[in-house]
């Protein structure tokens, strides 16, 4: 019996997996498009706002933006209106309930900028430094996801002296109340239950 218990203890140790930490994920444009297919999606184009400097925090179709926003058209935003960052740190948050995907197109006035993006979600925090890009009329795609839900996206200019803008800010996800979570024993939990059961049987047989 004791040999069996020792074997179970070793087996339990081998099967214990611990907790795997997850974080938000950066997506390519193709990955983003594929994963939001069929999901409720909201896109802020900035075309419905008057040109000028709105107050900050600035309420947009799918959240709020805190920084130094300016709605502009012309210059490097030649295809449609966009929102200039004006070199200030920018925070996107206040997303619709259930948002798991977020993206934008960044239009750089010229090349040389490096932007640091900090993505906070319910699964953790992801920080990435975007490579320097030049002027692209349609903008450079940047997208993220968190299966547990997104909380905020922060942009910081850490290198360069070139202004840049946001366009087509997109959110997607369930946009509904999440179903209740039902806890079930993990593999390590089942191992502990089996171990305790075997120990109880051993004590019972000894008493007999």
The per-residue pLDDT for range 187-201, each reduced to its tens digit, is 455 455 545 455 555
**pTM assigned to the model:** 0.75
DSSP the chain: -HHHHHHHHHHHHHH---------EEE-HHHHHHHTTTS-EEEE-STTSPSB---SSEEETTEEEES--EEEEETTEEEEEEEE-TTS-EEEE-PPTTEEEEEEEEEESSS--EEEEEEEETTEEEEEEEPP----TT-EEEEEE-TT-EEEEEEEEEE----EEEEEEEEEE--SPPPPPPP---HHHHHHHHHHHHHHHHHHHHH-
| Residue 10 scores a pLDDT above 50 | no
Higher-confidence residue of 6 and 41: namely 41
Res. 116: pLDDT tops 90: yes
34-55 per-position pLDDT tens digit:
999 999 999 999 999 999 999 9
pLDDT at 189: 53
Residue 5 pLDDT more than 90?
A: no
The pLDDT, as a whole number, for residue 22 is 73
186: pLDDT strictly greater than 50: no
pLDDT at 93 over 70: yes
């Amino acid at each position: 019996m004791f040999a069996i218990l020792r074997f179970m203890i070793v087996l339990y140790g081998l099967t214990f997996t611990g907790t795997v930490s997850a974080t938000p994920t950066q997506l390519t444009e193709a990955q983003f498009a594929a994963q939001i297919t069929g999901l409720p999606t909201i896109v802020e184009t900035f075309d419905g706002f008057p040109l000028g400097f709105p107050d900050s925090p600035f309420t947009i179709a799918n959240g709020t933006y805190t920084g130094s926003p300016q709605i502009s058209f012309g210059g490097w935003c030649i295809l449609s209106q966009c929102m200039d960052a004006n070199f200030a740190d920018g925070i996107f948050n206040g997303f619709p309930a259930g948002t798991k995907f977020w993206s934008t197109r960044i239009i750089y006035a010229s090349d040389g900028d490096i932007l640091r993006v900090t993505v906070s979600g319910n699964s953790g925090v992801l920080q990435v430094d975007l490579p320097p890009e030049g002027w692209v009329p349609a903008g450079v795609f940047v997208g993220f996801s968190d299966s547990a839900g997104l909380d905020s996206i922060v942009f910081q200019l850490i290198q360069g002296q070139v202004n840049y803008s946001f366009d087509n800010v997109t959110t997607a996800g369930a946009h509904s109340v999440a179903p209740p979570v039902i806890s079930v024993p993990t593999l390590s939990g089942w191992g502990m239950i089996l171990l305790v059961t075997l120990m109880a049987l051993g004590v019972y047989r000894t008493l007999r």
